[in-house]
Structure 1
Amino acid sequence: MTQENVFFVTGIGTGVGKTIVSAILVEALKADYWKPIQAGRDPDTDAATVKKLISNKNSVIHPSVYELETPASPHQAARIEKVDIALEKIVAQVPQISRTLIVEGAGGIQVPINEDIFITDLIAVLHAKVILVSRNYLGSLNHSLLTADFCKNRQISVAGWVFVGYDSTYENDLVRWTGYPKLASVPDVDDPGNLFVKALADSLSESIKETLC
């Protein structure tokens, strides 16, 4: 598996829409989905949510390596549940596929996985390109710009932004300031279903494929 077909979806924080964005990307690209570390259920795992949201029969939802009950950062959830999260175990279970793989992270880009390893370390060993998810809320410009600067300082390959919620000024400013392109804008809805995901995926598939593939 090469960097060209592995994309890591991360956000500027928690609850910004990574799972719905992942589902849209999976549907648009007919890609596979993998969430290596699941911490908490709300009420389902993110993998179960993506499975319900996609319509195509080609995409495979690969099982998580770690499923933790505690809704917290992976390192904290693992500490509470007395689980040792090992990067080597995750790497050993990377899906070996020829098509595109969408990997969903946990929280933001620098969330700790264990006492010494962070999400950025997982991105590095997967040789993945990052897709940044940003939602417009009070303080999100700062969070978005800090995330982008962090990626640049760490020389992390970023494919672009997916914005949740339509706000052209917000989106255009972030694209201009960071130099990262906009991949898509996704409406902010309370209860998206598979029809919503398919409609968005169908309308965005050509532009997403042109940018990512």
Structure 2
Amino acid sequence: MSGFVVTGTDTEIGKTVFAAALAGALGASYWKPVQAGLDDGSDAARVAALAGLPPERVLPEAYRLATPCSPHRAAEIDGVEIDPARLALPQVRPLVVEGAGGALVPLTRTLLHADMFARWRLPVVLVARTGLGTINHSLLSIEALRARGVAIHGVAFVGEPVEDSEATIAAIGGVRRLGRLPRLDPLTPETLAVAFAAQFDLADFA
């Protein structure tokens, strides 16, 4: 296993929490190439805390943008031009890379996250919520990734169990259902590690 890209079907669905759990379970380094929005802290800091990663395993972002919106627009507001050359994968393995938002979120006016995933050539874990609307969002994301030749490692669900929706996405999308991470209260490094170990098979990420 050299690494995974973690992307989502939407924003605020638990993608960062899943990325933290995966990085911690694999003993991997974590990298979020573009952080858009800093008022609530960075995702890298949150992952470091939840995964218990030492500082050297949390790689610095290529871009830290102040405005919490799509990276292409946040960069424009900040007067920054995102250079795809700066988004080359760090030569660190194993590595968990987290995208911003969903697969088709723009990095620039001409470059989507999914386009970058295709260049990186790492398998993608698609994080999907279990609530209403997830079948459509998930299948659209799967089609968009496949259209660009991106390898989909599987789908990780977040939320309360909804067996039919999860099974339907896996069957119609032709993807592996990796497991489901429940919403945790409290969310701590300990509760996250226990939940991931109970709901996911680490061998699926080998």
Residue 160 in structure 1 maps to residue 146 in structure 2 = no
Aligned to 1:196: 191
- The one-letter amino acid of 1:49's match is R
* Aligned counterparts of 2:193 and 2:204: Cα–Cα separation in 1: 19
Q: Is the partner of 2:128 in helix, strand or coil?
A: strand
Q: Determine the structure 1 residue equivalent to 2:169.
A: 174
Bigger mean CA deviation after superposition, 151-160 or 30-39: 151-160
1:62 aligns to what SS in structure 2? coil
Gaps of at least 5 residues in structure 1 are: none
* 1:101–1:204 distance in 2 versus 1, CA, 3 Å: farther
TM-score (ref. length: structure 1): 0.89
Unaligned runs of 5+ in 2: none
C-alpha distance in structure 1 between counterparts of 2:179 and 2:131, whole Å: 18
Decide which of 2, 10, 13 is 2:10's aligned counterpart.
13
Give the distance between the partners of 2:52 and 2:46, measured in 1 at CA.
12
Q: Which has the higher contact order (CA 8 A, sep 6+)?
A: 1
1:138 to 116, 132, 142: 132
Measured after TM superposition, the shift of residue 124 of structure 1 is 1.8
8 Å Cα contact 1:33/1:59 also seen in 2 = no
Matched, 1:106 2:100: yes
Do 2:180 and 2:199's aligned partners in 1 also have CA atoms closer than 8 Å? no
Mapping 1:6-155, distance limit 5 Å: 6-41=3-38, 43-55=40-52, 57=54, 60-91=57-88, 94-97=89-92, 99-155=93-149
- What is the Cα-based RMSD across aligned positions, in Å? 1.8
Following superposition, the deviation at residue 121 of structure 1 comes to: 2.0
Conserved in 1, the CA contact under 8 Å of 2:13 and 2:128?
yes
- When normalised by structure 2's length, the TM-score is 0.92
Length, aligned pairs only? 205
Amino acid at match of 1:200: A
- Say if 1:29 and 1:81 are closer, same or farther in 2 by CA, change over 3 A: same
Residue 49 of structure 1 deviates from its aligned partner by 0.3
- Give a deviation string over 1:96-121, Cα, whole Å, max 9, x none: 22x31000000110111012111012
CA separation in 1, counterparts of 2:103 and 2:194?
A: 29
Task: Letter of the 1:104 partner, please give it.
Answer: E
Q: Hey, what's the Cα distance between the residues in 1 that align with 2:16 and 2:181?
A: 12
